[in-house]
Amino acid sequence: MNHLKVIIIGAGIGGLTAGLTLRRAGYAIEIYEKTNEIRPAGAGISLWSNGVKVLNSLGLGDEVAKIGGLMDVMEYRSHRNELFNRISLHPVIQTVGQRPYPVSRTALQSLLLKAFNSDTETVKLNAQCIGIEQDEHRVTAYFADGYQTSGDVLIAADGIHSQLRDYVVGHPVELRYANYVNWNGLIEIQEDLGDKNTWVIYVGEGKRASMMPIGNNRFYYFFGCPMVKGTWVEPEYRQQELKQIFVGWPFPVQRLIERLNPYESNRLEIHDLDPLETLVKGRVALLGDAAHATTPTLGQGGCQAMEDAEILSRFLLTTNLGVEYALKRYEAERKERTSTLVLKARKRADMIYGKDPELTQKWYEQLKQETERDVTDALCKTILGGPFH
């Protein structure tokens, strides 16, 4: 279809990538963002090869390579520093045809924003969408300040706490607490923290601590520990909190806790969404976390938002049967892929964080037996299940 006007709500990874894929398809795009400054939540993100391929197809391959970390090896260790396995990621790169790039979120967000903003089209800030109406010809978005705009398609890319999701699904949808807390941030790479090309993951006692190299000589670090809902710790007490949780863990973990800047750390209760029965309503489509928020245990949430953007633009561009038809095809294509990954990530979170301690113990044993081939096959299966094989 030619000459569509597309309204996108939300300028996160999903909204901005959709803006780029849909503009590449030749459409007029308006992106509305409720905050007055685009501030990414969280410090780092691992863009697996499927996400990177979407950026490559947008001509952003060189840019993402510049901000990405060189992650050559993946290493699992126990909380007593026993090496469970150490695996080269090169067989994965060879099989899927693209390196993964762990990046800082700020760098990724500004790369996408810079690519989207042009002399004629820029993201409109301070624009909180509060409602949508549609008929068989148009869809209209209403904003908190009284502004309204109409178009042919509306993409609700308004994140995990989406206000527009209930409209699409037709009833209120609750998030599900995943029963653990995640702390994350960035720290300069130092030799006594870990190898600069290695993603190290320490696991034990139903908890984990990890460091992953991103661009500009930094590690993206994260910790996870099961916890009841509703806890909060101010930044100044976070090192103390982490020291208690990870007492007796290997020296690199202790040093990381000592040296991290708590005022630049994040502490989040992790939630996900049960797979939704529908992702579209007429001319409106959910995209990214609004459609399929996931626990981050496969590192695929942002990558799936990018895949959504790719598929949506393909289906709109390659049919003349109308917008609603194209969105239904988008839904059919994305529902199974994203539901499978959300449930897989949930199962993995339960295993990592000791929901059933016996299963978690078995997983530690299994990590010791896993071959490079086992790990490579699992990663490739996830990556290759998307639009770019």
Interaction residues for ligand FAD, span 33-92 (CB under 6 A) = 33-35, 42, 45-46, 51
For residue 299, give the nearest of 10, 13, 56 by alpha carbon.
13
Q: How far is the CB of 362 from ligand FAD (least distance, A)?
A: 25
Interaction residues for ligand FAD, span 162-201 (CB under 6 A) = 163, 182, 184
Among positions 4, 8, 10, 214, the unique one binding ligand FAD when judged by CB under 6 A: 10
89-97 long-range contacts (CB < 8 A, ≥24 apart) are: 89/379, 91/372, 91/373, 91/376, 92/49, 92/376, 92/379, 92/380, 92/383, 93/49, 95/376, 95/380, 95/384, 96/49, 96/50, 96/380, 96/383, 96/384, 97/49, 97/53
Q: How far is the CB of 358 from ligand FAD (least distance, A)?
A: 27
**Rule CB under 6 A: is residue 388 a binding residue for ligand FAD?**
no
For residue 134, give the nearest of 171, 169, 167, 172 by alpha carbon.
167
Among positions 1, 4, 8, 15, the unique one binding ligand FAD when judged by CB under 6 A: 15
Interface region with ligand FAD, contact rule CB under 6 A, candidates 61-69, 172-180, 226-234, 284-292: 284-292
**Rule CB under 6 A: is residue 30 a binding residue for ligand FAD?**
no
Interaction residues for ligand FAD, span 239-268 (CB under 6 A) = 268
The smaller minimum CB distance to ligand FAD, of residues 3 and 39, is found at 39
The smaller minimum CB distance to ligand FAD, of residues 74 and 303, is found at 303
- CA–CA separation, 212 and 103 (whole Å): 9
**Rule CB under 6 A: is residue 313 a binding residue for ligand FAD?**
no
* β-bridge pairing 207-214 and 218-226: antiparallel
The smaller minimum CB distance to ligand FAD, of residues 55 and 160, is found at 160
For residue 230, give the nearest of 260, 290, 271 by alpha carbon.
271
Q: How far is the CB of 321 from ligand FAD (least distance, A)?
A: 27
**What 3-state class would DSSP assign to 84?**
strand
Among positions 300, 338, 360, 376, the unique one binding ligand FAD when judged by CB under 6 A: 300
Residue 85 burial (10 A CB sphere; 0-12, 13-18, 19+): middle
Residue 160, token pair as written in the block: 């995990």
Binding-site ranges for ligand FAD (CB under 6 A) = 9-15, 32-35, 42, 45-46, 51, 127-129, 157-160, 163, 182, 184, 268, 288-290, 296, 299-303, 305
